[in-house]
Amino acid sequence: MKTDLKIAGDYLDLIVMHPASPEDVPRGEYFYEWDGTEEYSSRKFACSVEKQPDRDFVILNFADIQCHDGEAFCHVGEFSEETMDKLIRRTKPDLITLTGDNAFDPFAYLRLIDFLERYSVPWAPVMGNADHTGLVSEFWADYRMSHAKHCLFRCGPKGMGDGNYIINITENGRPVHTLFMMDSHHEETQQKGSYDHFTSEQLRWYEWAVKGIAAENGAPVPSSVYMHIPVPEYRDAWESIHDRETGNLIPEFASAPFCKVHESYGFPLFNNGFFALCKKLGSTKNMLCGHDHKNCFSIPYEGITLTYAMKTGYGCYWERETNGGTTLTVRSDGSTVTEHHYIDPEESSVKMFMLEYYGKNLYNRNYGD
């Protein structure tokens, strides 16, 4: 019996954990060769989502959902899904994005993919530093997502991590705004205690694409960068909205909801120059990241709005005052508006969550009488 169970377990692992690498997929082409010499072509290197001319295009972001297998199938996952469902119903997105740390473990990943697919809305994730946790490899998640019907995820160029890809939001077939979905990797192995960020090759690829899109379009196209780990300029932006003498938030932001830094920044201990490059090229108007679950803001800084997306659900750790999602709304002229959307946990109908978290027993019929 014990042997049978072991064989069954091994067999299940084999199915669930496959494929571990691109070599496990005969004829599969997931990463492409890139050295910057080939001319950019949106047809070849980007996908597109069409915007209706008479209305704004809404992109809804979920940040750091990250449930383990054991959580995804109990009240923790149920609460995350309830939060996402409320956000989708409220904002009616044309596109859903995920700023990484999407799930720990394989079954949590499969459940998340299945959940998002139900809405028949295109969705586009980037990878977070924790997205390989509990998986046979990060490629396993790449494979599963890139084969989901409504998922736009693509592995991207070889040697730059998992998931560097381009989405053009088009109106009447012409791009009005571009999304750069980029992998900011995991922990940095060269500098102890530092997170990683984009490599110099990724910066080259980004510059090549920004210039290529502008050349193809006959004019620059505004863009936004979705990534998991922030750049160091997030701290400068936060400092820029404080009164130098009092140290308090300036009035414009003191009254802004969901504007906070409640944990130390998880950006790398080095500056790869990405923010400076974006400023120089002039295309990118927004950066959105996740990673630091207790930080939440949206600050225009030196021509680029830096946004910490709102944490979605209470997987891993959270603050209940900022549970929800973040929208980036794109207008026909390519300009954007960023907004955080709070989902009050106390209004949850997940019984076990309410009992465990607020001591409210929704199992008791007389509750609320």
Q: Shortest distance, CB of residue 291 to Fe ion, whole angstroms?
A: 6
| Stretch binding Fe ion (CB under 5 A), from 47-55, 70-78, 98-106, 182-190 | 98-106
311 vs 341, beta carbon nearer Fe ion: 311
- Residue 314 phi, psi dihedral angles, 5° rounding: -115, 25
Give the closest residue to 116 by CA, choosing from 130, 133, 95, 135.
Answer: 95
Residue 147: CB minimum distance to Fe ion, A: 25
Measured from the CB atom, the residue of 71 and 101 that comes closer to Fe ion is 101
Indicate the residue among 64 and 142 with the shorter CB distance to Fe ion.
64
Q: C-beta of 360: minimal distance to Fe ion in Å?
A: 27
Number of residues lying near Fe ion (CB under 5 A): 2
- The CB-of-287 to Fe ion minimum distance in angstroms stands at 17
Among the listed ranges 5-13, 97-105, 259-267, 300-308, the one in contact with Fe ion (CB under 5 A) is: 97-105
CA 73, CA 162: separation in Å to the nearest integer? 26
In this structure, what are the phi and psi dihedrals at residue 75, rounded to the nearest 5 degrees?
Answer: -65, -25
**Pick 63 or 160: Cβ nearer Fe ion:** 63
Instruction: Pick the closer one to Fe ion by CB: 145 or 330.
Output: 145
Q: Least CB distance from residue 300 to Fe ion, whole Å? A: 25
Q: Which of 218, 137, 160, 141 is nearest to 33 (CA)?
A: 160
Smallest separation, CB 128 to Fe ion (Å): 6
> What's the distance, CA 145 to chain centroid?
13
Position 101 contacts Fe ion (CB under 5 A): yes
**78 belongs to the binding site for Fe ion (CB under 5 A):** no
Residue whose C-alpha is closest to residue 58's, from 337, 310, 258, 307: 337
128 or 345: CB nearest Fe ion: 128
Give the largest Cα separation in the chain, rounded: 73
Q: Establish if 94 lies at the interface with Fe ion (CB under 5 A).
A: no
Pairing state between β 95-98 and 223-226: unpaired
Which 168-197 residues touch Fe ion, going by CB under 5 A? Answer: none
- Return all residues near 35 (Cβ < 8 A) that are at least 6 apart: none
Q: How many CB atoms lie within 10 A of CB 114?
A: 10
Q: What sections of 248-342 are H helices per DSSP?
A: 251-254, 274-281
Centre a 10 Å sphere on the Cβ of residue 364 and count the other Cβ atoms it contains: 11
Closest contact distance (angstroms) between CB of 205 and Fe ion is 25
Stretch that binds Fe ion, among 11-19, 39-47, 100-108, 248-256 (CB under 5 A): 100-108
| Strands, E assignment, the chain | 31-32, 46-50, 57-62, 95-98, 123-125, 156-157, 165-171, 174-181, 223-226, 260-261, 284-289, 295-301, 304-308, 324-330, 336-342
* Alpha-carbon span 270 to 232, nearest angstrom: 8
Q: How far is the CB of 258 from Fe ion (least distance, A)?
A: 17
Among positions 30-69, residues that touch Fe ion (CB under 5 A) are 64
Stretch that binds Fe ion, among 36-44, 95-103, 210-218, 265-273 (CB under 5 A): 95-103
153: nearest Cα among 129, 115, 112, 182: 182
Contact indicator for 224, 284 with CB cutoff of 8 Å: yes
Which of 103, 209 has the CB closer to Fe ion?
A: 103
The least CB distance from residue 184 to Fe ion, in Å, is 12
Of 125 and 175, nearer to Fe ion (C-beta) is 125
Interface with Fe ion in residues 336-355 (CB under 5 A): none
**Residue with smallest beta-carbon separation from Fe ion:** 101
Residue (194 or 329) nearer to Fe ion, CB? 194
351 membership: H or E segment, kind and range: helix 351-358
Chain positions contacting Fe ion, by CB under 5 A: 64, 101
